[in-house]
Amino acid sequence: MNKLKACPTCRENADSQRKSHHDEKTVRDLVNRMNRIEGQVRGIKGMIERRVYCDDILNQISSAQSALHGAAQLLLEKHMKTCVSEQLQAGDHQVVDELVKTIFKLIK
Residue by residue, pLDDT tens for the chain (108 residues) are 445 555 555 655 556 677 888 899 999 999 999 999 999 999 999 999 999 999 999 999 999 999 999 999 999 999 999 999 999 999 999 999 999 999 999 998
Q: What is the pTM of this model?
A: 0.80
**CB proximity list for 43: less than 8 A, separation 6 or greater:** 60
Radius of gyration of the chain (CA): 18
Domains defined along the chain, listed by start: 24-106 (1.20.58.1000)
Q: How many CB atoms lie within 10 A of CB 36?
A: 13
